[in-house]
Amino acid sequence: MLEYKEMINLFAIIVCVIIYWVLGAIWFSPKVFGKKWSEALGKNLEDLGPDLKQGLGSLITAIIATSILAFLLELIGTYDAFTGFLVGLLIGVGFIFTVDLYDVLFEQKSVIAFIFDIGYHIVALMIIGIILGIWKV
């Protein structure tokens, strides 16, 4: 069996991490969903960020999510846009949606904030899934 470092295209991972990260900056910007998202959290958008801790944290999560998605596509062994899209969607719905739903059910997080949060991750995972599916990892 190949080592993980031999199985992945590092450049594809880096490009997808940047896309994931930039999509978050756009998604949560005041002109897209940031204002409504912060209102759903009961906070002021200016108070929410960005700061170094949030920036690094979101970068690390993008690296992990992208690497896991690339690894799963490699395990499946099918490289096309649809498979990448589908795996991204399944990870998003199967894990992001279900885990974050606990915040709504038990921590009384706003349903609107929940939708903005999971929407971002599911869309990002589908986009990077398509890219990784086309660009053999």
In which band, very low, low, confident or very high, does the pLDDT at 87 lie, cut at 50, 70 and 90? Answer: very high
Going by C-alpha positions, the residue among 69, 91, 59, 60 that lies closest to residue 137 is 69
Residue among 30, 90, 25 nearest 59 (CA) = 25
The DSSP code for 30 is: T
- Per domain, the residue ranges of the chain are 4-39+54-134
The pLDDT value given to residue 127: 98
What digits encode the pLDDT tens for the residues 24-40?
999 999 899 989 998 99
